Amino acid sequence: MLTDLVVLGIVILAGLVLASHRVTTSRAWRATVTPLASIIGSGFLVIGPILQTAYGSWSPLVMIGLCAVAYLFGAAVRTNIATLDADDRRGSIVRGLETAGGWALAGAYVISVAYYLNLFGAFGVSLTAADDPVSARLLTSAVLVLILLVGWTRGFGALEQLEQVFVSVKLAIILGLIAGLVVFNGERAGDDALSFTAPGLSGWSALTLAFGLVVTIQGFETSRYLGDRYDARTRILTMRRAQGIATLIYVVYIGLLAFAFTPEELPFGETAIVNLMEIVSPILPLLLVAAALSAQFSAAVADTGGSGGLFVELSGRRISLRQAYAGLVGVGLVLTWTTDLFNIIAYASRAFAAYYAIQAAIAAVGRWQAGSRGLAGLFALLAMLGAAMALFGAPAEG
């Protein structure tokens, strides 16, 4: 009962704060919330059980490592904002890398839409009698077709206006979840019932799985593409802030999960977090499903619009917006019916890792040309790490 009250209280309080006039009209917060919502969106729903199953009670260290790597990739993107977006004089090498990066990001968006909507389908049926893979795929397919019809006939302007509402709901529920876990861990500690779970993976398998989880901490790069609304300084500061907040939330969340459950209580699956949180509080599953559905749908709409625009631009308008949407939905349907969510996560992670490798390479070239040899070397090493992640990222397996 205490946990339920704490969860509801925090969700309501956080919702009121996020919906307040001061927050919703804050320019700095709006610039922060776009990357923040992407970073702790879909990944938050799946990464906890995956890390617990693979790394056990060492999972907080893995989460810290993922966030640290993400911050370094973010530093490369921030460097490019400061140098390229503030000064548009670009050499042929940088222009070529920028084009390659655009194609890599467009491809990553295509896969990420399939990722978001397969998660939408899994959570959409999770609390119903039709909780099975076929029903989840049917729901995913229906939403993919709906997005195609809306984009084809009316565009996404009206749907995109709901994004800030969805973001506020999601963040409030996540804070409520963390508060519930704090109370739950406190009760277990009082009963001397905290658990240490041994890692399920080690060595190369453990490393390649971490490579395959890049998509769960991506999203900070969206600040790079907000230049029509915010200046370079604002985007750099708010991206750094978003990554800091996301790191704090992720590390606290994974840290609380790491010792809360015994191995027998740890399920594995797309919606494993729902089953876990039912142990914490009976109201959390419903709240998590609500957060999942709103978050996945808004993210899918945003990435569909973003990828469509990128394909039109990169193709020199040889590909129309409608053709881009149709191709994206076609790929999404193929992925939905030929593979599972964990493979899609790995595919998306590898695509985003390729994009980050290119961003790091651009930063390395820029710093080399500016005479900063040390930073150029660091970004070159980061580009090689991104390439390794793109080549070797592996899916989670139960």
What does the pLDDT look like over 25-60, one tens digit per residue?
Answer: 788 887 887 788 778 877 778 888 889 888 988 999
pLDDT at 289: 87
Mean local confidence (pLDDT), 295-311: 79
Q: Is the pLDDT of residue 184 over 80?
A: yes
Q: Is the pLDDT of residue 159 over 70?
A: no
pLDDT at 68: 95
pLDDT band (50, 70, 90) for residue 398: low
- Give tens-digit pLDDT for 367-380: 888 888 888 999 99
**Whole-number percent of the chain with pLDDT over 90:** 25
Q: Among 92-101, 104-113, 220-229, 320-329, which is the least confidently predicted range?
A: 220-229
pLDDT band (50, 70, 90) for residue 353: very high
Here the tokens at position 383 are: 């580009």
pLDDT at 92: 76
pLDDT at 128: 85
pLDDT at 305: 77
Q: Among 138-142, 155-159, 210-214, which is the least confidently predicted range?
A: 155-159
Domain ranges of the chain: 1-392
Average pLDDT of every residue of the chain: 85
- Give tens-digit pLDDT for 132-144: 889 999 999 999 9
Mean local confidence (pLDDT), 150-171: 70
Q: Is the pLDDT of residue 364 over 80?
A: yes
Distance between CA atoms of residues 297 and 115, nearest Å: 11
Distance between CA atoms of residues 108 and 347, nearest Å: 8
Here the tokens at position 144 are: 């993919």
Amino acid at position 398, single letter: G
Fold designation for 1-392: Amino acid/polyamine transporter I (1.20.1740)
**Whole-number percent of the chain with pLDDT over 70:** 94
The residue to which tokens 């890792």 are assigned: 353
Whether 215 and 43 have beta carbons less than 8 Å apart is answered as yes
Q: What is the CA radius of gyration of the chain?
A: 21
Whether 175 and 44 have beta carbons less than 8 Å apart is answered as no
- Give tens-digit pLDDT for 247-271: 999 999 999 988 887 766 777 777 7
- Give tens-digit pLDDT for 54-104: 898 899 999 999 999 999 999 999 999 888 765 656 677 788 888 888 899
Q: Is the pLDDT of residue 232 over 80?
A: yes
Closest alpha carbon to 387 in 364, 353, 359, 361: 353
pLDDT at 84: 72
pLDDT at 7: 86
- Give tens-digit pLDDT for 279-290: 888 888 888 888
pLDDT at 300: 81
pLDDT band (50, 70, 90) for residue 298: confident
Q: How many CA atoms lie within 13 A of 63 on its CB side?
A: 28
Mean local confidence (pLDDT), 104-132: 88
Which residues, including other chains, have CB under 8 Å from residue 275's CB and lie 6 or more apart? 267, 269, 285
Mean local confidence (pLDDT), 3-9: 84
Q: Is the pLDDT of residue 310 over 90?
A: no
pLDDT at 90: 64
Which residues, including other chains, have CB under 8 Å from residue 222's CB and lie 6 or more apart? 34, 35, 38
Here the tokens at position 104 are: 């890599």
pLDDT at 70: 94
| Other Cβ atoms closer than 10 A to 275 | 16
Question: 3-class SS at 197?
Answer: coil
